[in-house]
Amino acid sequence: MNIHFYVTLSRIKTIMAKLQKSIDKRNALIKATIALVNNNGFHATPMSKIAKMANVSPATIYLYFENKQDLVNKTYIEVKEKFTAHAFNHYKADMPVAAGFKLIWNSIADFKFNNCEEAIFLAQCDNTPMVDEPSRQKGIQHFQTLLELWERGKEEGIIKPMSNYLLYAYTIIPLSFLIISQRRGAIQLTKDHVEEAYNAAWNSIKL
């Protein structure tokens, strides 16, 4: 059975424009949420402020999200997905372990460096009960690729036979602290710092 749609080109164009506008609004809400939660914390960011920053009526938020918790959950998941996509962007599963790790690590550092607000938001979510458990679980899944790389590294005798939690703790986690410290004005991160950080990470897990 074939279903035929008769649609003019101009019709498609207006539909696309509308969709885009909707996406823009949603993105504005998510961006506002990140900025306000970073600066004031979840407990001190009312929906009214989020709405104002996104140039939208408070009521409009509820056309895009069920409620405040849902807004934060979805923000977390979206940012985490963006982060993960960036982390594994150029990685191929058949790369040598050391090169693969270096590539992924640098992609992550790059993301956190250039998307500092997003990175800080994630750190906040990962260290508090701000997002609900299902959302957190969903955010974690995406790291499968890194775990597989590490398993391969252990089999090949390149990486220490440590728990993946330890590997994560000593390679990825420190970056969050550095980014937060930078945002608080405590340190100004340079290329050198990033290289030192990479060496520290690698030294802590290489066999």
Which residues form the interface with DNA (CB under 7 A)? 11, 14-15, 18, 21-22, 25, 44-48, 55-63, 67-69
The residue (of 81 and 195) whose beta carbon lies closer to its own copies is 195
**Range 34-53, binding its own copies (CB under 8 A):** 38-44
DSSP state of 158: S
| Residue 139 near residue 196, CB atoms below 8 Å | no
Q: From the CA atom positions of the chain, what is the Rg in Å?
A: 21
| Residue 200 touches which member of its own copies, DNA, none, C-beta under 5-8 Å by kind | its own copies
**How far, in Å, CA of 57 to CA of 161, rounded?**
53
Q: Looking at this protein, which amino acid is placed at residue 89?
A: N
Instruction: Take residue 69 and report the two structure tokens written for it.
Output: 């918790």
Count the residues of the shown chain that bind its own copies, applying the rule CB under 8 A. Answer: 40
Return the half-sphere exposure (C-beta side, CA atoms, 13 A cut-off) of residue 95: 18
| Residue 76 near residue 139, CB atoms below 8 Å | yes
Closest CB 133 distance from DNA, rounded Å? 18
| Residue 114 touches which member of its own copies, DNA, none, C-beta under 5-8 Å by kind | none
CA distance to 35, 82, 122, 147, per residue, from 75 (Å): 11, 11, 9, 24
The answer to whether residue 200 forms part of the interface with its own copies (CB under 8 A) is yes
Instruction: Take residue 148 and report the two structure tokens written for it.
Output: 């597989």
Strand partners, 206: 159
**Range 64-93, binding its own copies (CB under 8 A):** none
The residue (of 22 and 128) whose beta carbon lies closer to its own copies is 128
**Range 133-192, binding its own copies (CB under 8 A):** 160, 162-163, 165-166, 168-170, 173-178, 180-181, 186-187
Q: Looking at this protein, which amino acid is placed at residue 122?
A: L
Closest CB 128 distance from DNA, rounded Å? 16
Q: Looking at this protein, which amino acid is placed at residue 93?
A: A
| Residue 106 touches which member of DNA, its own copies, none, C-beta under 5-8 Å by kind | none
The residue (of 46 and 157) whose beta carbon lies closer to DNA is 46
Residue 36: count other Cβ atoms within 10 Å of its Cβ.
19
Binding site for its own copies (CB under 8 A): 38-44, 123-124, 126-130, 160, 162-163, 165-166, 168-170, 173-178, 180-181, 186-187, 193, 196-197, 200-201, 203-205
